[in-house]
Amino acid sequence: MDLASNIATSRLIAQQRAMDVIAGNIANADTPGYKATRVLFSDWLDRQDGVDTPPGGNTIAFTQDRATWREQAPGPIQHTGNPLDLAVAKAGWFSVSTARGIRLTRDGRFGLMPDGTIADAAGDPLLDATGNPIRIGPTDTTLTITSDGSLSSENGQIARIGIVQPTDPMQLAAEGGTLFRADTPTNPVAQPKIVQGAIEGSNVQPITELTRMIDDEREFQFVTQMVQAESDREKDAIQKLLPSGGTS
């Protein structure tokens, strides 16, 4: 495979990656707390030393799949009426304790474990403002959660739900669909805004994602056609250069 085909193939691989990411976004358009994934491409420069300088210079630029990142725009608030469905209407994250350590999430679908612990769908306990799991007693039947995270029942206040913000939001690493690992310290949000009986929907906009997928598919097809045209050109040149009666 020649240099032109190598460069085009690097672009094809990147475009395939972009379409896979968009497909994942579309699949999670209804996942509460999901943040849309985006790809970041860059040029990988290969300097051609010790060869004749080709027209345009001696640096070859390949396409490099550099990284993926998550859009942090909030999703829409969807009211459910479930008293343990919680949404963060402003900045901040819930903290849950997992087997891998504390993780952040905006997925507020919580429920009760058999021992009274409030946990997410995976059974990971929701943490309070002091970093401890929240448990309610068997006589706590009517739960009220105010906007600052104060959790109370007919028996009085139980705990205050912790809402935190990482010192560097760009250092959040996604784990699965809705969990994030903070690679920098987190600080409590001074004035959080929690909505009880609601969840934050995905921030994916399906129509926008479909438009991006169509654009990426067209570019993929264009580069594929270019690779095929280059292959046909090389075959035609070889046929013309071969001696009469030669075989390819």
With cut-offs at 50, 70 and 90, classify the pLDDT of residue 39. confident
**pTM attached to this predicted model:** 0.76
pLDDT given for residue 248 in this prediction = 47
* β-bridge partners, 112: 118
Contact 125, 133 (CB under 8 A): yes
Q: Which residues contact 19 (CB under 8 A, 6 or more apart)?
A: 213, 216, 217, 220
196's tokens: 């009880």
Does the pLDDT value for residue 246 go beyond 80? no
- pLDDT tens-digit series, residues 148-183: 999 999 999 999 999 999 999 888 899 988 999 999
Greater pLDDT, 238 or 211: 211
> What are phi and psi for residue 182, nearest 5 degrees?
-90, 115
Cα–Cα distance, 126 to 105 (Å, whole number): 10
Task: Decide the pairing of beta strands 163-166 and 144-145.
Answer: unpaired
Does the pLDDT value for residue 83 go beyond 90? yes
97's tokens: 């304790």
Q: What b/e string do you get for 166-200 counting C-beta neighbours within 10 Å, with b at 16 or more?
A: beeeeebeeeebbbbbbeeebebbeebebbbebbb
- pLDDT tens-digit series, residues 118-134: 999 999 999 999 999 99
pLDDT given for residue 230 in this prediction = 73
Q: Which residues contact 41 (CB under 8 A, 6 or more apart)?
A: 14, 18, 63, 64, 65, 66
pLDDT given for residue 145 in this prediction = 96
Greater pLDDT, 82 or 236: 82
Cα–Cα distance, 15 to 185 (Å, whole number): 35
AA letter at 229: A
- Average pLDDT, whole number, for the chain? 86
Work out the average pLDDT over 54-79.
73
Percent of the chain with pLDDT over 70: 85
